[in-house]
Amino acid sequence: MKPDLSLLSLFTDASVLVQIVMLILAILSIMSWTLIFQRGYALHRAQKLYDEFQERFHLSSDLNRLYDYLAQKRYQGFGIEQVFRQGFREFVRLYKQEAPAAAVMEGTERAMRVSLARQEDELEHSLPFLATVGSISVYIGLFGTVWGIMTAFRGLGSMQQATLAMVAPGISEALVATALGLFAAIPAVFAYNRFFNHVDKLMRAYDNLAEEFSSALHRRLHSQSWQESESDALHPNFESADK
């Protein structure tokens, strides 16, 4: 009679410990795939927000209007837009307090650095879990395989004559654990490397745009004509940034 080597039968016929290993790997695989889709969508959205903001920032000649536009958006808690809002809000607050120019720029840049750090944490959310799954899944599967092979050979030791038909099911049950470990580890490692590179690229882009924004504020702050003739006109528009 031909042995049943389907995945379900291999699971049900395996020892309890190997079954536990298989369940752990299946759960890790489901969790990692869920995070892969979530992180993929989040990074795609962050890239799209950055591209849109970069274009609008370079085309805008009035930072007040740009801030007002962002303040009216429904979703305001993610990406480079949040860095801009935090920096501009701090710039306005210090400017209205008539702080020295150096203090204004220092406070603005500090606010942007804090916001950049928060955005980096947000972008890297769940990446350590993917790295962990990629690192340990193979070893968990290997443990299940070793244990299953030990169990199979221990059973063969009690038989007077061992055939390939007797050995194959036990070995197959054991190797399923390694297969599940690879199934969990390979996508997790691939996704981690891809997402990590994407986050690194985005953060470099955020830093560059933050530097451009800081330079624009620095030029405005030290523009004599702006301080003398335009500050009063722009001052009321700062109210929206101070909310």
The DSSP line for 101-170 is HHHHHHHHHHHHHHHHHHHHHHHTTTHHHHHHHHHHHHHHHHHHHHHHHHHHHHHHTT-SS--HHHHHHH
pLDDT of the residue at 128: 93
HSE at residue 210, side-chain half, CA atoms within 13 A, is 27
pLDDT of the residue at 110: 93
pLDDT of the residue at 6: 60
pLDDT of the residue at 185: 93
pLDDT of the residue at 164: 56
Using alpha carbons only, how large is the chain's radius of gyration in Å?
Answer: 29
pLDDT of the residue at 63: 83
- As a whole-number percent, the residues of the chain with pLDDT over 70 amount to 77
> How far apart (Å, rounded) are the C-alpha atoms in residues 8 and 32?
22
pLDDT of the residue at 228: 45
pLDDT of the residue at 190: 95
> How far apart (Å, rounded) are the C-alpha atoms in residues 228 and 220?
11
pLDDT of the residue at 238: 43
Question: For residues 17 and 147, is the Cβ–Cβ distance under 8 A?
Answer: yes
pLDDT of the residue at 169: 62
pLDDT of the residue at 112: 93
pLDDT of the residue at 73: 73
Question: For residues 213 and 90, is the Cβ–Cβ distance under 8 A?
Answer: no
- In the chain, which stretches have pLDDT less than 70? 1-14, 74-77, 155-170, 224-243
